[in-house]
Amino acid sequence: MPQFPELFILRHGQTEWNVLGKYQGQMDSPLTKLGLVQARSQGKILQAHVASRKLQAYASPLLRAARTAELALLPLGQHARLDSRLKEVSFGTREGRTRAEIAKIDESSRLSKFERYFSDPKGESFSRY
């Protein structure tokens, strides 16, 4: 059986827009105090699992992801390489709006949550992939 490398996937800490229920997409909002605590906690978890091993770490350049990676890797004395291919999908004109705001202006808000991510004409779509 082939040996696969360990893979650790971290989610960014809570952001101000998470609290407000806003779609972020490729727009950004800062981590909250709780988000900073979450990022540091991920660092403690990583440190417990990888000790002093050198990691190949990558993160989205979006502030919320890059800051989370920075704080999570700090106890290991390591840094993530920022890679724009890891950015969240673009939600087009939905970015910065809540579900309720979208429902008021957009018929496609009746779509499933997953379909809604890809239905804005100015955002990313399934046909792109």
Question: Domain ranges in the chain?
Answer: 12-88, 90-129
Whether the per-residue pLDDT at 129 is higher than 60: the answer is: no
Q: What percent of the chain has pLDDT over 90?
A: 57
Provide the strand spans (E) within the chain. 58-59, 81-82
Say if residue 1 is exposed, middle or buried (CB neighbours under 10 Å; 0-12, 13-18, 19+). exposed
Active site residue 88: yes
Backbone φ and ψ of 85, nearest 5°: -70, -10
Q: What is the pLDDT of residues 73-124, one digit of tens each?
A: 999 999 999 999 999 988 898 899 998 888 777 665 567 766 766 777 788 8
Q: Which CATH class is domain 12-88?
A: alpha beta
* Three-state SS at 32: coil
**Strand bridging mode 81-82 / 58-59:** parallel
Active-site hit among 6, 12, 49, 95: 12
Whether the per-residue pLDDT at 128 is higher than 60: the answer is: no
Active-site hit among 6, 70, 88, 124: 88
Active site residue 49: no
Output 17 or 115, whichever has higher pLDDT: 17
